[in-house]
Amino acid sequence: MTAPAPTAHDVPTAPAGRPPGRLAGRTALVTGAARGIGRACAVAYARAGADLLLTDIGRDLPGVPYPLGTADQLAHTALLCREQGAGSVVTVPADVRDTEDVRAVVDAALDRFGRIDVLLNNAGIAAPSGKTVHDITPDEWDLMLDVDVSGAWRMIRAVGGAMTRQRSGSIVNVASTAGLVGYRHFAGYVTAKHALVGLTKAAALDLAPFGVRVNALCPGSVRDDEAAEGRMLSEIARSLDVPVEEHEQTFVAAQPMNRLIEPDDVAGAALWLASDESRQVTGSTVTVDGGFTSR
């Protein structure tokens, strides 16, 4: 990789006097934190009192036909976290396809905070998509798996030593309903998210003897919330060449609860999985999909 080496940037800590939260005294590492679900989860963790290491790629990738999270968006997430009461926030740009970048992120967290209690594996791409399975190119297939599956594995590999030594930790892999059911014209994404669910189950068994929990979080169709700057539905609509409004109506009609999922709905589940309230939950798949996969 030719990208510049990651550097850490401290964000001033929150004002004193806030009551301790569910993650007070703990450190959470969030990938894909610049916007969308990653931002919503980071803010929820901040509100719960966690120290935070936030990372995102900060640049676009060849082969991904939409803009990825930017450095400015990552910085904005950090400021939102500070406002919500995070103990301290560090941002580090990184590409989860790059082992050296991943190691730099984990080292920055350990150097600054001394431990990592939560890993939220949220970094991922939803494209290239919108093709029948035999029209996907080898490069498109490899890119999807490298980011969405191998990226999560690289992060687990990098934090595994620290978590097993401290004999505690919670790893939350953000998968999708595409990890549980199939979707037409999304073979690469469906394969990647199914694989991420499988990685979750296997890692949970490997790490359980050390007190480390691993769970998968499977959101349904998440609304493109302006505050979170998410673009999941708009990108899927683009890849299928349909208007965004029409695509949203299709998803709402398919939801038993007849509404799209909000980023904060996903963040609430991610907070529960990170906290002691789920201390006996590991190897599980938690859906936040309005009942979509229950049909």
Residues recognised as catalytic:
189
**225 φ/ψ angles, rounded to the nearest 5 degrees:** -70, 130
CA angle, 49 as apex, 165 and 176 as ends, to 5°? 75
Helix (H, G, I), strand (E, B) or coil at 120: strand
User: Which of 259, 166, 164, 178 lies closest to 219, judged by CA?
Assistant: 178
Strands (E), the chain: 9-11, 27-31, 51-56, 89-93, 118-121, 169-174, 212-219, 285-288
User: Which of 117, 269, 294, 121 lies closest to 197, judged by CA?
Assistant: 121
User: Which of 89, 144, 151 lies closest to 120, judged by CA?
Assistant: 151
Are 271 and 44 spatial neighbours (Cβ–Cβ below 8 Å)?
A: yes
- What residues contact residue 23 under an 8 Å CB cut-off, 6+ apart? 45, 48, 49, 50, 117, 118, 271, 274, 275
- What residues contact residue 253 under an 8 Å CB cut-off, 6+ apart? none
**70 φ/ψ angles, rounded to the nearest 5 degrees:** -100, 165
Cα 123 to Cα 64, 155, 174, 203: the distances in Å are: 14, 10, 8, 18
